[in-house]
Amino acid sequence: MATVGNARARWEEYKNAKPPVWIGKKCNMFGLPWTFTTYMLNEDCLYIMTGILTHRIDEVRLFRIKDLSLEQTITDRIFGIGTIHIDSIDTSMHSFDLVNIKECKAVRNAAATLIAKARENAKIIEYLNAPVVIQQK
């Protein structure tokens, strides 16, 4: 998590370090981005910036994400939004949601592809529902 004073500068650093695959904002129930939560996905991490006066940035490495699920109510489908639920083994963010995002199916599919690639690159497999790192000699 970035400190309060430099969160906006840190966000720009993250954005410029590796090109984001997707940047989106949490929308209201009508699909309009009138909130203060921004999501960014690149090939290594998922970043979530929240707040208007006090910014907070949370970061989850993609190889730590265990499960993705998509939820769309009938109202969500009408307005073209959805919520992606994420379960991870991250110490600070075990279970969280990307709430009311546009193009949720495309974002979920892109995230699933990047997560699989990140887990492969980190040499992580699942054994009895727990991730295990494979050491190469």
Could you report the per-residue pLDDT of 37-94, keeping only the tens digit for each? 999 999 999 999 998 888 899 999 999 999 999 999 999 999 999 999 999 988 888 8
Q: How far apart are CA 80 and CA 64, in angstroms?
A: 28
Phi, psi of 89 (to 5 degrees): -100, 15
Q: Give pLDDT, residue 2.
A: 43
Q: What is the CA radius of gyration of the chain?
A: 16
| Residue 129 within any structural domain of the chain | no
Residue 69 CB partners (closer than 8 Å, separation 6+): 84, 85
Domain that holds residue 95: 7-124
**For the chain, what is the domain count?**
1
Q: How far apart are CA 46 and CA 58, in angstroms?
A: 8
Nearest to 83 by CA among 55, 107, 52, 62: 107
| Residue 115 within any structural domain of the chain | yes
Q: How far apart are CA 17 and CA 61, in angstroms?
A: 15
Q: Kindly report the CATH number assigned to the domain that includes residue 110.
A: 2.30.29.30
Largest CA distance in the chain: 54
Reported as a single tens digit per residue, the pLDDT across 27-40 is 988 888 888 999 99
Reported as a single tens digit per residue, the pLDDT across 108-128 is 999 999 999 999 888 877 765
| Residue 105 within any structural domain of the chain | yes
pTM: 0.82
| Residue 134 within any structural domain of the chain | no
| Residue 29 within any structural domain of the chain | yes
| Residue 26 within any structural domain of the chain | yes
Q: Does the pLDDT of residue 5 top 80, yes or no?
A: no
| Residue 88 within any structural domain of the chain | yes
| Residue 135 within any structural domain of the chain | no
- For residues 36-70, one letter each, b for 16 or more C-beta atoms within 10 angstroms of the residue's C-beta and e for the rest, the string is ebbbbbbebbbbbbbeeeebebebbebbbbbebeb
